[in-house]
Amino acid sequence: MIRYIFRRIPSFVIVVALASIVAFLLPRLAPGDPAVQMAGPDATTEQVDAIRHAAGLDLPLVTQYLNWVGGIFHGDLGTSFSYHRPVSELIAASMESSFELAIFAAIIMVVLALVLGVLGGTQLRKTSRTVLDVINTAMIAMPAFLVGLILIVVFGIVLRVLPISGQVNLSENFAEGIKYLILPAIALALGQAAVIARLLQTSMLTTRGEEFVDLATAKGASPARITFRHVLPASLNTAIVALGLRIGELLGGAIVIEAIFSRSGLGQLAVQAVNSRDYFLVQALVIGAVMIAVLSQLTSELVTAAVDPRVRLDG
């Protein structure tokens, strides 16, 4: 197992390192000088130079990059140009909203994926299977923002049962906060859950053809026991891997969902940072998103390897 972990780490490090270079270079490729922007329209050349020097932007690119990466390990992400506050402080302020959304959406995603997947992986009558397939396909085909818009129309405008814009942090008022979370979290989770459910369904149906399932049937195990004790554990592999990939997608989708439901989370912060060319803020957010995406991918691979020795032994 440990050997497997060590084998997987280099590619993870390479992707994160390359992504950090991309995240670092991108804002600097853009035309325009942030120091001039920060200094305002009436600033003298000396003032602009002073600002540039204070932000370390007059150093060679390689030095700037190394300073930034070195800072990350000390928890120093630089200072935002537009807010004049440390980037780590800004991120911390927006983090609660985004994390609540992501975690709530991830819970819905896992539960829904399991329910739909197990349901699809059991023997069903033809009509029930068709209905399930249609629901599943529709869910896969719709992007999160479309689901979000439909939910807004149905639950926020026609039925008027749930709030459709704004947020209340769970730490302030749990019951009220959940109400604000339900629609965006469902919007975010639905499509991703359908993808995982589809994979789980396929692998469960394949597993049902295996001999150990026949053996269990022959021994007189109940259908429920066969499904949950024999078929499901042997079919979770692909679903777990997909889960890791989907968490990254969840993150990307969250930016748009936050905009639609007017939640002020990390996504909104990122949009503002891009609009104001806030180098350090953008860098930190991009590399953070990439790291979470790649880490969740790695974690799911490790979990798969831990569950199934075939994975860690070959290749």
Partner 1 sequence: MSVALAAVRRKNINPTLRRYLQALRFPRGIGGLILLVILVASALLAPLLFPGGYDQQTSDSLQGLSLAHPFGTDELGRDIFARSLFGLRTDLSIIVVAVPLGMVTGTVIGMLGALSPLAGNIFQRVLDVILGFPGIILGVCVVLVMGAGWASLVVAIAISSLPTFGRLSRAAMLSQSQREYVIAARTLGVSRATIITRHILPNAIDPILVAGTVFVVAAIFIEAGLSIIGLGIQPPQPSLGSLLNSATRFISQSPTYIVGPTVVLFLLALSFSLISDALNRSVNRP
Q: Which residues are near partner 1 by CB under 8 A?
A: 11, 14-16, 18-19, 22-23, 26-27, 29-30, 141, 143, 145-146, 149-150, 152-153, 156-157, 164-165, 248-249, 251-253, 255-256, 259-260, 262, 267, 270-271, 274-275, 277, 282, 286, 289-290, 293-294
**Which lies closer to partner 1 via its Cβ, residue 274 or residue 307?**
274
Query: What is the smallest separation between the CB atom of 46 and partner 1, expressed in angstroms?
Result: 29
**How far, CA to CA in Å, does 160 sit from each of 66, 157, 183, 186?**
52, 5, 12, 17
**Which lies closer to partner 1 via its Cβ, residue 90 or residue 234?**
90
**Which lies closer to partner 1 via its Cβ, residue 30 or residue 115?**
30
**Which lies closer to partner 1 via its Cβ, residue 40 or residue 166?**
166
Residue 315 token pair: 């290749």
Query: What is the smallest separation between the CB atom of 157 and partner 1, expressed in angstroms?
Result: 4
Rg of the chain over Cα atoms, rounded to whole angstroms, equals 24
**Which lies closer to partner 1 via its Cβ, residue 232 or residue 284?**
284
Query: What is the smallest separation between the CB atom of 226 and partner 1, expressed in angstroms?
Result: 34
**How far, CA to CA in Å, does 79 sit from each of 90, 194, 246?**
10, 41, 32
Q: How far apart are CA 198 and CA 226, in angstroms?
A: 20
Of 283, 285, 275, 286, the C-alpha closest to 82 is 275
Angle of CA points 247, 253, 254, to nearest 5°:
90
Query: What is the smallest separation between the CB atom of 111 and partner 1, expressed in angstroms?
Result: 22
The number of helix segments (H) and strand segments (E) in the chain equals 14, 0
Residue 86: beta bridge partners?
79
Q: How far apart are CA 253 and CA 244, in angstroms?
A: 15
Query: What is the smallest separation between the CB atom of 260 and partner 1, expressed in angstroms?
Result: 5
Query: What is the smallest separation between the CB atom of 234 and partner 1, expressed in angstroms?
Result: 28
**Which lies closer to partner 1 via its Cβ, residue 141 or residue 215?**
141
